[in-house]
Amino acid sequence: MGMKKLLLIFMVIISIVLIGLTSRLHNNENQNAPKAVAGVIDLRQYDLHKNTVSLDGEWDFIPNKLLNYSEFDTHHSYSVNVPSLWSKYKLNGQNFTTLGSGTYRLKILIDDTDTILGIKTGNIRMSNAIYINEKRIGQSGEPAEDSTYIQQNVPYVAYFAPKKNELELIIHVANFDYASGGGIIGSIFIGDQESIGKLREGSLFYDLITIAAFFTMFIYFAGSYLYAKLEIEQLYFSLFCFMVGLYSLSHGEKILMLLLPISYEFLIRVQIISSIGSGIFMLLYFNHALQQFSHKKFVKALCIIGILLLATVMLPISISSYLQTAHSIYILIIIFYLLYIQTIAIFKRLVGAIYLWLSSMAILIYMVVATLNLNINLEIYSLPPLLPFICLTMLSLYISHRFTDSYLEKGRLTNALIRVDKLKDEFLAKTSHEFRTPLHGVIAISHSMLESNESSTLTMEQKEKISLIFNITKKLSHLVNDILDFSKLKEGELKLRLTNVDLYSVTHVIVEILSYIENKDVKIYNYIERGKIIVADEDRLRQILYNIIENAVKFTRHGKVEISCYEEQGFLTIEVSDTGRGIAPEHIESIFEPFRQLEDASKGTGLGLNVTKELVKLHGGEITVHSVVNQGTTFSVKLPVQTIKKVQQDTQQNKITLTKDYLPIAFPYVAERKMGKKILIADDDHINLKVLIDILAKENYSIIAVDDSRQVFEQLQAHPDIDLLILDIMMPNLSGYEVCQQIRKNYSSAELPILMLTAALRPEDMLAAFQSGANDFLHKPLDTAELKTRVRNLILLKESAETAIKMETAFLQAQIKPHFIYNVLNSILSLSYIDLDKARIMITDFATFLRSSFSFENTNSLIPLEQELMLIQAYVNIHQTRYPDQLEWEIQMEEPLTILIPPLLLQPLVENALFHGLKNKRVNGKVTMTIKKVQQMIDIKIKDNGIGMSQEIIEKVLSEEPTDHQSVGIRNITKRLKKYEKATFHIESVVGEGTTVILKFPLISDENEVEKC
């Protein structure tokens, strides 16, 4: 579609909107409709049988009184414009208050007194009652002259029979909640019964058609998302439609009040939720649909603001109504932002962007009119009921356009993928064949160097390295063969590499992984005995068992999964039983078909049961399933028991022999260096161990290597100073996960970092490693540079933790000096013989002091001021008991302050002040602490009459570098204060007269629950 055609469509839509708006306004104001003047409106020349007329104009108004017909003329009235907020009324030169009550009066002059007339109200906040010639004909809520009124601002229609040519219309209005003001905000219409009825029906029709349109789209897109879950934007769009439908239900004619028996306060909360919610979900929808043009930080900020505005729904109406304008501004900002990114999308020629722009324009017009409806006399049904359909039609065209393009693109990609898949198979096969030739050459050359007479000229280190090249190349050759076997899988020519496999180790690792990644109430029990050996392809066997066990866990909501095996008639049968929902008999035969899943399966199963079945067949076995619906399922993998040919081993089973001429290495292997960090390596693969030893030994680390997981615990007991453990996951006896879990019972992650190694590439293996307590994770084959970096970082982590612990211990010891404890204990002992009551009081104070001193967990956290003062008072009480009549203590604080300060911030300062005061032998020691609030700071002064300090000593105390004069406590206090903005620390002192410490700290309220500035 060309740009000119799109612009033409846009102009047509705008023209329709403008024509509808003009015709509506013209319909209300044509035929020279009369206006109220000086409290009187003359309708004697106006035909009320065909048209309604708004009673706009000048009304009489008496504030703060609800008067009847006879009382109105006894009070002074004011002429005000209706409709408008009464907060805009000028009464005696001043604006009327936003909250209050009042009485409106309008005299209506008519000719025909035989026709039934009707009145339709609009927006009258927040309650009203209408009287015609002293008779109440309608009301919404129950107005009163004080806050005892009952609010309910719902439009309604009232009919009456006029008996006079002069009608006196009295309206009582009260508002004591809505912050922007009350009064008659929307026009009041009068007409005969038929015209008023049509007006009411038109208003309801507009609301109902909008509600039906948006709720229909909500149901359609919500159902589509729940069924297919293709794109999250469908969910956002459905929720946007729901919110707009809810907005229409709670605004306009407020149909929600007619459908449900709810309070008006609840209705206002629905209005807030629907208004802000529609903006948020509209923003999220377009942000996802146009994410390449969206500004993520701006969208995130708008979402946070929207959530905060939504939270105001819990506030009383008298408070939340202050944010009415903020709500409107928020929605308009979102709409203009969306128009901005949609315009960019149009210029970037994004598919269907023009549809989004047109739909946003329709939403913008609708929201603007809805916003004006809340503040001025512009009814929302002034617009023709086309905007909802324009919006939904444009969005539907956009989604349809995208789906069509996506479908066509998928068709093209499918054809291309088929071609690429064929090319991939050919490339894989050719590349593998090309790899095989040079690998065989490397194998042959390295083998000849070890077997020929030339080996006699090689050193032991050279032989060792050539042997490593030989073995690694053999493994790489196996990898190439695996790639070739994979390419032959479709042809049924996959070959297995059978080895002796520890069945328990394989199943245990799978159980550990699934236990971590599945957050279900399912227990997995592994009843396979340790040391159960079977001849199989270890990788393929692991794939078989992982797929079956994962399926058992996935389809069991709560219960257990049991893994067991037994030998019978030359076959080893591995059973995986669950207590899940089971499989219907008609589905059992089809579950092994390719690409078949149960109808309610949510995702694939990795290799799939079809591949699992083929792998079992390759092993010469079979797989069967027995299931009972709602009771459980049992998969049985039957593998033939083959004669296990034991490998000829040396008498020393814990030795590695790379070649027949190479001297073996005994395990555990220990190579200590005096200054090097100590690393423990555990791996059952001797080649991997040797590679790790060589790499790390060059970095001057002390190395301890073991090939049995059980020896890890022995080495930890023998070498408690180990700095790092490198642990392989797949090991016999105990897996790496089990070892890690046992270690974490005695060592934290900072005390003993653990680096795990594995050849597995599943993300679940990494997750299980971290869940079991590992600090880091590396895949095999290892990259040398990456290994060195990770080892270095983990060792630095331990060093940092040790440093932090030492600093924390030093800080704590600085607060409680040993000689202070000894002196207190001696004082308590002495008092116990003289004055038992004082001894008990001193014990209580000492206990309070110790408890408060040790209660903090982090020197960077904040505690209430009251807690710090309690610690100080206990400390002072102890000294006053020890030095009766020699120490005077005073706290000057105008009022209790519920604020937060760093722990042990003031106690060391008071301790120093007491110490200085007691050293002055001329007079008794006196310490005064003054605490006061100065703006947003707390000002603390600690003054003593002690020996004082010279300016030189003060400068040294406050200097950055520690000196003999500077205590750990003062240095720690000044260091911690630097973390808080505007915090200051100052000392004033005069030798022989005393010292004053002045500390200023930012005011942090206890209610904020803040831990850092």
8 Å CB contact between 181 and 85: yes
Residue 121 has pLDDT above 90, yes or no: yes
How far apart CA 132 and CA 139 sit, in angstroms, is: 12
How far apart CA 315 and CA 299 sit, in angstroms, is: 26
Confidence of residue 913 (pLDDT cuts 50, 70, 90): confident
Most confident listed range (404-413, 432-441, 586-595, 681-690): 681-690
8 Å CB contact between 972 and 814: yes
Q: What is the side-by-side order of every strand in the sheet holding 521-526? A: 521-526, 558-568, 571-578, 632-640, 622-628
The bridge status of strand 135-140 relative to strand 127-132 is antiparallel
Helix axes 353-375, 387-451, angle to 10 degrees: 130
What was the pLDDT predicted at 107? 94
Burial of 252 (0-12, 13-18, 19+ CB in 10 A): buried
The mean pLDDT value of the chain amounts to 78
How far apart CA 780 and CA 360 sit, in angstroms, is: 53
Confidence of residue 459 (pLDDT cuts 50, 70, 90): confident
pLDDT above 70 covers what percent of the chain?
76
What was the pLDDT predicted at 308? 93
The bridge status of strand 632-640 relative to strand 655-656 is unpaired
Q: Which runs of consecutive H residues, i.e. helices, occur in 142-228?
A: 193-228
Higher pLDDT, 858 or 893: 893
H-run or E-run covering 442: helix 387-451
Q: Which runs of consecutive H residues, i.e. helices, occur in 816-959?
A: 818-834, 836-854, 865-882, 907-919, 951-957
Among the ranges given (251-260, 262-271, 578-587, 968-977), the one the predictor scored with the smallest mean pLDDT: 968-977
Confidence of residue 991 (pLDDT cuts 50, 70, 90): confident
Most confident listed range (137-141, 203-207, 539-543, 580-584): 137-141
In the numeric block, the tokens 């058609």 are attached to: 209
What was the pLDDT predicted at 653? 39
Confidence of residue 807 (pLDDT cuts 50, 70, 90): low
Residue 609 has pLDDT above 90, yes or no: no
**Separation of CA 841 from chain center:** 51
Sequence-separated (6 or more) residues with CB below 8 Å from residue 497: 478, 482, 537, 539
Phi, psi for residue 298 in degrees, rounded to 5 = -65, -45
Higher pLDDT, 8 or 1000: 1000
Phi, psi for residue 120 in degrees, rounded to 5 = -115, 125
How far apart CA 540 and CA 542 sit, in angstroms, is: 5
Residue 803 has pLDDT above 80, yes or no: no
How far apart CA 840 and CA 956 sit, in angstroms, is: 41
How far apart CA 153 and CA 321 sit, in angstroms, is: 14
What was the pLDDT predicted at 588? 78
Q: For residues 552-580, give the mean pLDDT.
A: 87
| The two three-digit tokens of residue 802, written as one number | 């040790």
Q: Of 95, 24, 902, 757, nearest to 387 (Cα)?
A: 24
How far apart CA 398 and CA 365 sit, in angstroms, is: 20
What was the pLDDT predicted at 603? 45
What was the pLDDT predicted at 29? 45
Confidence of residue 439 (pLDDT cuts 50, 70, 90): confident
- Would you give the DSSP letter of residue 68? -
Q: What is the side-by-side order of every strand in the sheet holding 937-944? A: 887-893, 925-934, 937-944, 994-1002, 984-990
Phi, psi for residue 997 in degrees, rounded to 5 = -100, 125
Most confident listed range (169-173, 560-564, 572-576, 676-680): 169-173
What was the pLDDT predicted at 821? 67
What was the pLDDT predicted at 832? 63
Residue 207 has pLDDT above 80, yes or no: yes
Most confident listed range (155-159, 225-229, 659-663, 990-994): 155-159
How far apart CA 786 and CA 532 sit, in angstroms, is: 36
Residue 956 has pLDDT above 70, yes or no: yes
8 Å CB contact between 580 and 633: yes
Residue 288 has pLDDT above 80, yes or no: yes
| The two three-digit tokens of residue 516, written as one number | 């971590």
Residue 102 has pLDDT above 90, yes or no: yes
Most confident listed range (114-128, 568-582, 648-662): 114-128
8 Å CB contact between 44 and 17: no
What was the pLDDT predicted at 737? 83
Bridge partners, residue 987, by sequence: 997
Phi, psi for residue 181 in degrees, rounded to 5 = 120, 165
Residue 71 has pLDDT above 60, yes or no: yes
Per-residue model confidence as pLDDT tens digits over 378-412: 454 445 556 666 777 777 777 777 777 777 888 88
For residues 822-833, b (16+ Cβ closer than 10 Å) or e, as one string? Answer: eebeebbeebee
8 Å CB contact between 919 and 883: no
Residues counted in the chain: 1013
Collapse the DSSP code of 641 into the 3-class scheme (helix H, G, I; strand E, B; otherwise coil) and give the result: coil
Per-residue model confidence as pLDDT tens digits over 668-695: 888 888 777 899 999 887 878 888 888 8
Q: For residues 152-171, give the mean pLDDT.
A: 92
Among the ranges given (26-35, 405-414, 598-607, 728-737), the one the predictor scored with the smallest mean pLDDT: 598-607
Higher pLDDT, 49 or 830: 49
What was the pLDDT predicted at 797? 81
Higher pLDDT, 505 or 428: 505
What was the pLDDT predicted at 921? 60
- Would you give the DSSP letter of residue 1004? -
Sequence-separated (6 or more) residues with CB below 8 Å from residue 114: none
CA-based torsion, 650, 655, 657, 660: positive or negative = negative
Higher pLDDT, 840 or 220: 220
Higher pLDDT, 921 or 705: 705
| The two three-digit tokens of residue 903, written as one number | 């722990």
Among the ranges given (366-370, 381-385, 606-610), the one the predictor scored with the smallest mean pLDDT: 381-385
How far apart CA 449 and CA 458 sit, in angstroms, is: 9
The amino acid at residue 548 is: I
Residue 828 has pLDDT above 60, yes or no: yes
Bridge partners, residue 522, by sequence: 559
DSSP assignment of 780-829, as one string? SSPPHHHHHHHHHHHHHHHHHHHHHHHHHHHHHHHHS-HHHHHHHHHHHH
Sequence-separated (6 or more) residues with CB below 8 Å from residue 164: 113, 133
Sequence-separated (6 or more) residues with CB below 8 Å from residue 845: 874, 875, 877, 878, 881
What was the pLDDT predicted at 1012? 41
Per-residue model confidence as pLDDT tens digits over 842-884: 777 777 766 666 655 444 467 888 888 887 887 787 777 777 7
Collapse the DSSP code of 286 into the 3-class scheme (helix H, G, I; strand E, B; otherwise coil) and give the result: helix
Computed over its alpha carbons, how large is the radius of gyration of the chain? 43
Q: For residues 161-177, give the mean pLDDT.
A: 93
| The two three-digit tokens of residue 682, written as one number | 């555990």
Among the ranges given (487-501, 730-744, 891-905), the one the predictor scored with the smallest mean pLDDT: 487-501
